[in-house]
Structure 1
Amino acid sequence: MPTGTPPPLQRGASQPLAGQLAERYAQRIRERLLLPGARLPSVRDCARQHGVSPHTVVAAYDQLQAAGLLEARRQRGFFVRETRPAATRSAPPQAAATRQAPVDATALIRGMFEADAARSPGLGTLPADWLDPVLLQSALRRLNQADSHGLQVSYGDPSGDARLRAALSQRLADLGIHAEPAQILTTHGATHALDLLIRTQLQPGDAVLVDDPGWAILFARLSRAGIRLLPVPRSAHGPDLDTLAALAAAHAPRAYLTVPVLHNPTGHSLDLSTAHRLLRLADEHDFLIFEDDSYGFLAPEHLPRLAALDGLRRVVYVSGFSKVLTPAWRVGYLATSPERLVALTDIKLLDGLTSSPVMERAVALCLEQGRLRRHAQRLRERLAQARQRVATLATRHGFTWAAPPDGLFGWLDVGVDTERLAQPLLDAGWLTAPGALFSATRRPGSLMRVNLATSLDPAFWRQLRACADDIHGTMTTP
């Protein structure tokens, strides 16, 4: 992760300028700061950015092609070479229009692990200094003081810690979701819960509806499982239900994977009318809904959850604690009907026997007595202040929002190709999240995800404006 502007290329050094430039891009590709399929700057743009001749850039790009890192596409430019997983089963001919290039989601994961939050407006999580270490330490201290010897020397219940499942049942009741502890299965985070659903409820070749824009890691998991993606456009008004209905009629999808509340990346939440229409379509076309509520603690409890309206009939509810408590404990869960729970528990057993009873009991202690609820309320208040500050900075620098920012994210329109914009911003030390990362088809565009908690530095907005103007200038120069 860059922490500042990289040094300029060294003229007169033992390594030629073309070699230095090639190594700079090669390092970014190796570190997954440039995704497979990402477009590099044009020869002219790259020459201007690095103060070298176009001939030097062509030579550098030739070296990267020779190393197998780049490919040239006629009349389109230079792209990081794709690595395509072998297909599990060929998609039926009628679904050809919905196929997509695999998304290399490791760049987003590395961003979470390696990013300096202060210089990462594209970060997907809260910065560490927003979390509450005192709450975590208190839970661990109480756990050690209690009679927890049995927890620390046993595998635990395959369904999850009983005390945590009881606390989760109460949490769900607060959201209007009626689920007994026996209907809840704990997992190694919400991502693991979604993975269990993919492996038990879907088969290679199945069609699945997904939000577009949506979560790149989910797209990658589905693609590797041989699932056909049916992208449903998502805007400030929610999913395009007319498109969803047409896709459902044409492809008979098995499921719809969606984030109804504080959607990643737009920040939008479904209203009650849209939620009701969506559930009617699920009944009409006989598909399941996997409801990912990973950001639920950052949202007001009164926002409608699909599982509450459906009664866990067609909807499987998924959530976790990484976004609000700590990503280190890896505790998530799902709630569903009893008949689906058997297969899900079996796959969890095959994966890793059980999840950690110690960490799960610690989360239960955080939930009890309202400690986590109060922490979440403080986060919501702090995010509201950050949201107002970021909105002011965006307006001051001439940018607009594609959807009103809410929760942790804003979906910003910068007026130029954000994948192209990401390169000079990276040179200046800012890690961003271009809109193409969240497209099931890697569609380029002028949108980018902005983390409202990590975009408070006015220096970022000045740099963003300067880089966007620079790119716009090259587009209008004859």
Structure 2
Amino acid sequence: MTLHAQRAKASLSSAMADNLAKQIEEGVLAAGTRLPSIREYAAASGCSKNTVISAFEMLTASGLIEPRRGSGFYVARRVKVATEVEEARSLDRAMDTVWLMREQLQTNPDVLNLGEGFPPIEWLEETRLDQYHQRVVRTGVASLFRYGSRFGYLPLRQSLQQKLAGYEIEAPPSQIVLTHGANQAMDLVLRYFVKPGDTVLVDDPGYYPLFGRLKLSGAHIVGVPREVDGPNVAALERCLVEHRPRLFFTQSVGHNPTATDTSAAKAHRILQLAEAHDLVIVENDALADLRPRSLTRISTLDQLRRTIYIGSFSKSVSAALRVGFLACNTALASDLADVKMLVHVSSSEYCERTVDAIVSDGHFLRHTNHLQEKLRRATDAAVNALRKLGADIFKVSDQSLYLWASLPGWPDSMPLAKALLERGVILAPGAVFSPGADTVSGFCRFNVAYLTDKRFVSALQALAP
């Protein structure tokens, strides 16, 4: 075929595809309509079958039609997809879980993200990730080209053994499984324990990405009200009697979003209830490096007999490395490592080697001390900023990444969040942190590092009547 003939054929195919696309867009050809066969269409149009095939391939690639084996081509049932900008700005769906997770992954300097889940980048830059790359390459070049162990890189697990010993949790490397962050650790636990229809208890308010993951697994989610000193143990006991759950996900230290810590008395009572009702407690301690070591952890009291401890380096080193871990009894650790291998093969040994190089360096302790000092100053300034606005702070902390507070005149924080979104300020409204779909909350989670930004007050003043 000459070049001229090829161009003519392509032009005819494009024209045919454009004509069909117009009919589909205007509704002349409704979704589900079966198109004439290639042979029939070629005969009716007076062109070759190859021309029709090219046109149909264009329409298939654009999602307008779809082939069905043994039946022909049909007009596809399409769902209108918004652009990335439209999705980010859609006020109708802006406050769901996935939206908030997406917003936390964006780095738009023109937007003030008071709902941000991480410390500011400049707080973490002193870890100097760049200086560890050559060390990792020199000592473990094979890790750049192979899968790692199902448990994860042994020297990092040995470092974590020492880290956990600082919390008085005894956990040899055989009880530690490295993961792609704390979220994968939770995912492994869910895959192992939870079947569709099973009841799982969570903090309410609590860690909202967990709620979405539980819904995907088909679990029945029941919230245990969070108080200033930890979960409401009377409500927990009622839930255990009524629902007979297998798991309770909770945060004992630096609770997200309320900035509360579980008291020693409540931690003991929770363990007593767990023993009586055969409950496994999953303790998420992702903020451990930002809080004092001396605070009570349920896993310390239990020594991982009926607790699963989950940790992460996302808040103290880098979320981009995606390194977390879980610690539990030896038999369960082996089972969860197998689940990890089946689902993900392994975690990244390169990233694990990098984290181990960082945490085994004496500089890391200084880094976490500096982080905590920055957090103390930021928390103090944030508390003062909220008090000037007349806010009700759920628990005034002297050192917490988040504050849980409500602003006067806004009994439901959802309309406030939507109004501020139009003015370039992102809030994390309270309803997102509750497992109940119809929850109304006046509270929001505020990241203390950003609360003194003048854009927040200016945006609030713009809403005043």
Q: TM-score range by the shorter chain?
A: 0.7 to 0.9
Q: Secondary structure at the match of 2:449?
A: coil
Match of 1:6 in 2: none
Match of 1:157 in 2: 149
1:449 maps onto 2:448 in alignment: no
Give me the TM-score of the superposition, normalised by structure 1: 0.76
1:31 maps onto 2:31 in alignment: no
Confirm or deny: 8 A CA contact 1:131 1:326 kept in the other structure.
yes
Mapped to 2, the partners of 1:310 and 1:27 lie a distance apart of: 46
Confirm or deny: 8 A CA contact 2:391 2:405 kept in the other structure.
yes
User: CA shift at 1:466, angstroms?
Assistant: 5.1
Q: Secondary structure at the match of 2:322?
A: coil
CA offsets 1:196-255 (integer angstroms, 9 cap, x no match):
000002222111110010122101111111111111111222111111111111111111
Aligned pairs for 1:395-410 (under 5 A) are 395-405=387-397, 406-410=399-403
Q: Secondary structure at the match of 1:403?
A: coil
Match of 2:128 in 1: 135
Task: Select the structure of larger CA radius of gyration.
Answer: 2
Match of 2:415 in 1: 420
Mapped to 2, the partners of 1:413 and 1:233 lie a distance apart of: 17
1:237 maps onto 2:229 in alignment: yes
For the structure 1 residues 465 and 391, does the alpha-carbon distance in structure 2 shift closer, same or farther, using more than 3 Å as the test?
A: farther
Unpaired segments of 5 or more residues in structure 1?
1-24, 39-103, 471-478
Deviation >3 Å, runs of 4+: 25-29, 32-38, 115-118
Confirm or deny: 8 A CA contact 1:236 1:404 kept in the other structure.
no
Mapped to 1, the partners of 2:295 and 2:244 lie a distance apart of: 29
2:270 pairs, out of 278, 281, 289, with: 278
Query: Identity, % of aligned pairs?
Result: 35
Mapped to 2, the partners of 1:37 and 1:433 lie a distance apart of: 10
1:376 pairs, out of 368, 380, 395, with: 368
Match of 2:433 in 1: 438
Q: Secondary structure at the match of 1:124?
A: coil
Confirm or deny: 8 A CA contact 1:418 1:434 kept in the other structure.
yes
Mapped to 2, the partners of 1:148 and 1:26 lie a distance apart of: 42
Residue type matched to 2:272 in 1? R
Q: Which has the higher contact order (CA 8 A, sep 6+)?
A: 1
Mapped to 1, the partners of 2:84 and 2:328 lie a distance apart of: 45
Match of 1:257 in 2: 249
Mapped to 2, the partners of 1:390 and 1:183 lie a distance apart of: 39
Residue type matched to 2:188 in 1? L
Confirm or deny: 8 A CA contact 1:267 1:408 kept in the other structure.
yes
CA offsets 1:119-149 (integer angstroms, 9 cap, x no match):
11111111212212553122223223x3322
1:148 pairs, out of 132, 140, 143, with: 140
Confirm or deny: 8 A CA contact 2:127 2:317 kept in the other structure.
no
CA offsets 1:149-181 (integer angstroms, 9 cap, x no match):
222232121110011110011100011110001
Mapped to 2, the partners of 1:369 and 1:128 lie a distance apart of: 20
Match of 1:69 in 2: none
Residue type matched to 1:422 in 2? A
Aligned pairs for 1:44-443 (under 5 A) are 104-116=96-108, 119-132=112-125, 134-144=127-137, 146-405=138-397, 406-415=399-408, 416=410, 417-442=412-437, 443=439
Match of 1:17 in 2: none
Mapped to 2, the partners of 1:35 and 1:275 lie a distance apart of: 40
For the structure 1 residues 136 and 120, does the alpha-carbon distance in structure 2 shift closer, same or farther, using more than 3 Å as the test?
A: same
For the structure 1 residues 136 and 293, does the alpha-carbon distance in structure 2 shift closer, same or farther, using more than 3 Å as the test?
A: same
For the structure 1 residues 339 and 355, does the alpha-carbon distance in structure 2 shift closer, same or farther, using more than 3 Å as the test?
A: same
Mapped to 1, the partners of 2:346 and 2:358 lie a distance apart of: 21
For the structure 1 residues 225 and 373, does the alpha-carbon distance in structure 2 shift closer, same or farther, using more than 3 Å as the test?
A: same
CA offsets 1:332-354 (integer angstroms, 9 cap, x no match):
11001111122211111112211
Confirm or deny: 8 A CA contact 1:289 1:316 kept in the other structure.
yes
Unpaired segments of 5 or more residues in structure 2?
1-81
**Aligned Cα root-mean-square deviation (Å):** 2.1
Mapped to 2, the partners of 1:436 and 1:35 lie a distance apart of: 15
- What is the aligned length? 380
Mapped to 2, the partners of 1:32 and 1:284 lie a distance apart of: 48
